[in-house]
């Protein structure tokens, strides 16, 4: 009898936990998709392209997608400075920012337009270290950013940018279909972590 009661309580607890996870996933996915389809057409103070993984100096599919999306904005706003972000992964000879800058320069973007943030290892650090660089020569209280990253990443990127004092806008790059399920699952977990550790507790884990 006692074992049966424990089993029933455990079963209810597991079902409740599963329901909460599913509800939170659905809610966060609504936020992610809403930000992904919201495309701003605004001449921001700076364009920022968020880093994505590179390997042996080659761009990942998501990194290339972000850069291709950025090129359209760059052509439409030829005097806007461009921040490329991303540090150097273990075993790599160049930072994500440097590899992305190389891609842009090969397509005619002047080196003088590029600001490289090469220390970050996370989305939070992308904006944190970019803010540090910008404050060296731009003391305006509110700086607007046009954020270029994949659609699944837009919600969290804008959330963090706003938290750090920027006025965030965004345009979403496409994500290859074969990467969508994994990216959205990881982003769900990343959003939870950002809400709790970065914003609520202020631990700035990225």
How many Å apart are CA 146 and CA 73, to the nearest integer? 9
Tokens of 170: 């965004």
pLDDT at 23 over 70: yes
The stretch 100-125 carries a mean pLDDT of 96
Spacing of C-alpha 151 from chain mean position: 9
pLDDT score at 58: 93
User: What are the tens digits of pLDDT across the range 128-181?
Assistant: 999 999 999 999 989 999 999 999 999 999 999 999 999 999 999 999 999 999
How many Å apart are CA 111 and CA 102, to the nearest integer? 9
How many Å apart are CA 166 and CA 56, to the nearest integer? 33
How many Å apart are CA 153 and CA 172, to the nearest integer? 8
Give CA separation, 66 vs 9, 71, 85, 101, in Å.
Answer: 48, 9, 12, 12
How many Å apart are CA 100 and CA 118, to the nearest integer? 11
pLDDT score at 153: 97
- Contact status, residue 49 vs residue 68, Cβ threshold 8 Å: no
pTM of the model: 0.91
CA torsion angle 12 18 20 26 (round to 10): -150
Tokens of 90: 């273990």
Tokens of 181: 């399920």
User: What are the tens digits of pLDDT across the range 30-76?
Assistant: 999 999 999 999 899 999 999 998 989 899 999 999 999 999 999 99
Q: Which domains does the chain have, with CATH numbers?
A: 3-200 (3.40.50.620)
Spacing of C-alpha 9 from chain mean position: 40
User: What are the tens digits of pLDDT across the range 177-193?
Assistant: 999 999 999 999 999 99
> Which stretch of DSSP H or E encloses residue 117?
strand 114-117
Helices (H) then strands (E): counts for the chain: 6, 7
Tokens of 196: 């709790």
Q: Which residues lie across from 55 on neighbouring strands?
A: 58
pLDDT score at 31: 96
Mean residue pLDDT across the chain: 92
């Amino acid at each position: 009898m006692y074992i049966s009661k424990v089993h029933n309580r455990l079963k209810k607890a597991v079902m409740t936990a599963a329901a909460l996870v599913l509800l939170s996933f659905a809610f966060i996915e609504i936020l992610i998709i809403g930000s992904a389809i919201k495309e701003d057409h605004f001449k921001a103070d700076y364009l920022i392209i968020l880093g994505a993984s590179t390997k042996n100096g080659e761009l990942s599919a998501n990194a290339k997608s972000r850069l291709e999306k950025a090129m359209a904005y760059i052509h439409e706003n030829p005097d806007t400075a461009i921040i490329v972000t991303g540090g150097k992964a273990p075993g790599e000879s160049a930072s994500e920012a440097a590899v992305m800058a190389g891609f842009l320069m090969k397509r005619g973007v002047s080196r003088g337009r590029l600001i490289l943030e090469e220390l970050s290892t996370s989305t939070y650090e992308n904006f944190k270290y970019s803010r540090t660089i910008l404050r060296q020569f731009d003391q305006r209280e509110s700086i607007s950013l046009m954020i270029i990253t994949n659609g699944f990443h837009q919600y969290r990127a804008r959330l963090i940018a706003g938290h750090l004092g920027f006025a965030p806008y965004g345009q979403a790059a496409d994500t290859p279909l074969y990467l969508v399920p994994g990216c959205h699952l990881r982003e769900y977990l990343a959003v939870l972590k950002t809400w709790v550790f970065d914003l609520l507790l202020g631990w700035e884990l990225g």
